[in-house]
């Protein structure tokens, strides 16, 4: 094993999976990639048209996304610190956007985990 991917979502189970992945990475001298996917699906054209007709500002959607992105960045930094505290030095945290299942698979393929 050269690389291990741990996808986290901030849940208790996610933290347990991260700890297990960190232990495995340390045992095998592998790099740990910690990934959080910020789910973001653009609003449909029909919903945008409805919002415009009802004079509903769309900046709320953008604000929600920015907030989720900030949380995702903080989550990965916290996870990195957590595993470094266990003595693992080769760890990379990433927060990316998209559909979680699709992005996790893409990172797994591209990183050869």
Examine the pLDDT at 25 and tell me if it is beyond 90: yes
CATH assignment of the domain containing 42: 3.40.50.620
Domain that holds residue 41: 3-111
Number of domains observed in the structure of the chain:
1
Give percent of the chain with pLDDT exceeding 90. 63
Q: Which of 103, 30, 27, 51 is nearest to 72 (CA)?
A: 103
Q: Name residues whose C-beta falls within 8 Å of residue 41's C-beta, 6 or more positions apart in sequence.
A: 99
Tens of pLDDT, residue by residue over 30-72, are: 999 999 998 876 666 776 787 788 787 767 667 777 777 888 8
The pLDDT value recorded for residue 38 is 87
């Amino acid at each position: 094993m050269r690389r291990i991917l741990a996808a986290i979502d901030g849940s208790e189970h996610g933290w347990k999976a991260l700890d297990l992945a960190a232990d495995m990475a340390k045992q095998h001298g592998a790099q740990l990639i910690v990934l959080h996917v910020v789910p973001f699906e653009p609003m449909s054209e029909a919903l945008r048209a409805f919002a415009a007709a009802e004079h509903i500002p769309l900046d709320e959607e953008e604000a929600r996304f920015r907030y989720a992105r900030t949380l995702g960045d903080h989550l990965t930094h916290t996870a990195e610190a957590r595993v470094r505290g266990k003595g693992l030095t080769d760890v990379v945290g990433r927060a990316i956007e998209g559909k979680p299942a699709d992005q996790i698979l893409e990172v797994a393929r591209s990183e050869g985990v």
